[in-house]
């Protein structure tokens, strides 16, 4: 049986699935329910100066009959008194000593405030701290959250303040509202952080009510940019995670992956691209804490199938497989193949290829249905037909190399080969 136990910066948990700092981790009752369901750890919702939240707070992007493929919130950090949160954290730690307890922090931007917040938090017995350098709304206007994460110099300074008094591991949570997460990550490391986590939410507008003309969510006829999360942000999160994992100066720093993780497959993908564990929020908010069973069972079964004994066996294995475009093999070539026994003759492949791509599919009109075949000499292997086909494995991509040797674009140009050869 695969061993799902996680050791992140010395913080042990029975599995690598933590709940991210968010509404699900704002109160003792929520966290107890999560731990009873089987979650390996939580990042307690961000503590800081007292705030007042608004109503409403959430909105979502629905697409093609599926609800909440993207999720948006304008909620601030915890609006509960600091002492209440600290008291409840202590109580939960006594009830579940085997689970990871991380406290997210966002203090006012001065050394004294950060020192006080760190000391009070670690006095609870918590296992680690997560510095919230990513909140994209509300706190930014106060010079906090993403305002810190977007300026490497400020980020480094704040981390240094924290490390002056921290006695437990410190994780710095990076903002995705930047061109690259690498400068912020390097700044946090230079400041002394023990680990990194990303991504926080992305500034967004999920839509507009076409009757009231007010963007969502509606707060008395007005709205603001919110923080975007959920399945729709996963590709962005994976890209930003990979850029950190590829950076030599970050390579040995543990990373907690966040951003649209909904299934065990998502979690495995994050870990293959360098995350040592993962944090989940939106999926739990939409479906409840019981999803942890499927997350653990799915990852465990996959590990058994692949022969991995522990999660450390596969962390980062896919990072070397992402390279620069100039290094891709130009001689590698694939063409589409349609399984006529599985084809339902809907014509979507033909329409997409004929209208918007490479006119590589023949149509034989007939009664009662049309038949579609690939023009192999015209097919560039773009995958579009396979993507739009509604039948699994009806269209497959078959390798037909153009040359035996590996040939990248750099070498191709050096040799002065004619462009029309490929």
Report the catalytic residues.
135
Q: Any idea what the Cα angle at residue 129 is, between residues 2 and 19, rounded to 5°? A: 45
CB 34 within 8 A of CB 289: yes
Distance CA 340, CA 266 (A): 32
User: What dihedral do alpha carbons 405, 411, 412, 414 form, nearest 10°?
Assistant: -140
CB 50 within 8 A of CB 107: no
Distance CA 200, CA 145 (A): 10
Q: What tokens were used for 39?
A: 């979650």
CB 134 within 8 A of CB 146: yes
CA gyration radius, the chain: 25
Does the CA dihedral 318-323-327-329 come out positive or negative?
positive
């Amino acid at each position: 049986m695969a061993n799902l136990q996680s050791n992140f910066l010395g913080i042990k948990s029975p599995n690598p699935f933590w709940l991210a700092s968010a509404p699900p981790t704002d109160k003792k009752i929520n966290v107890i329910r999560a731990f009873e369901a089987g979650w390996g750890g939580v990042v307690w919702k961000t503590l800081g100066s007292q705030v007042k939240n608004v109503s409403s707070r959430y909105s979502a992007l629905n697409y093609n009959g599926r609800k909440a493929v993207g999720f948006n919130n304008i909620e601030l950090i915890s609006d509960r008194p600091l002492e209440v949160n600290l008291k409840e954290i202590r109580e939960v730690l006594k009830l579940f000593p085997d689970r990871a307890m991380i406290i997210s922090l966002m203090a006012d931007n001065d050394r004294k405030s950060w020192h006080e917040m760190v000391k009070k938090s670690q006095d609870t017995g918590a296992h680690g701290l997560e510095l919230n350098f990513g909140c994209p709304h509300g706190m930014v206007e106060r010079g906090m959250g993403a305002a810190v994460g977007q300026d490497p110099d400020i980020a480094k300074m704040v981390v240094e303040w924290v490390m002056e008094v921290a006695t437990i591991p410190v994780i710095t949570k990076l903002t995705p509202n930047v061109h690259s997460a690498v400068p912020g990550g390097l700044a946090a490391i230079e400041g002394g952080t023990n680990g990194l986590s990303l991504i926080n939410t992305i500034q967004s507008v999920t839509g507009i009510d076409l009757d009231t003309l007010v963007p969502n969510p509606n707060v008395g006829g007005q709205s603001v940019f919110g923080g975007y999360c959920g399945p729709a942000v996963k590709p962005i999160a994976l890209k930003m995670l990979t850029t950190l994992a590829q950076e030599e100066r970050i390579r040995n720093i543990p990373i907690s992956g966040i951003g649209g993780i909904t299934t065990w497959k998502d979690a495995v993908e994050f870990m293959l691209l360098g995350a040592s564990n993962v944090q989940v929020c939106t999926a739990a908010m939409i479906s409840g804490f019981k999803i942890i069973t499927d997350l653990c069972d799915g990852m465990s079964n996959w590990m058994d199938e692949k022969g991995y004994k522990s999660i450390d066996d596969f962390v980062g294995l896919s990072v070397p497989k992402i390279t620069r475009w100039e290094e891709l093999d130009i001689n590698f070539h694939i063409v589409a193949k349609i399984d006529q026994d599985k084809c339902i003759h809907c014509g979507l492949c033909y329409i997409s290829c004929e209208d918007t791509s490479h006119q590589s599919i023949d149509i034989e009109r007939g009664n009662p249905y049309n038949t579609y075949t690939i023009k192999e000499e015209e097919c560039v292997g773009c995958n579009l037909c396979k993507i739009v086909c509604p039948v699994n494995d009806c269209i497959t991509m078959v390798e037909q190399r153009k040359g035996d040797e590996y040939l990248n674009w750099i070498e191709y140009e050096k040799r002065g080969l004619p462009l029309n050869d490929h």
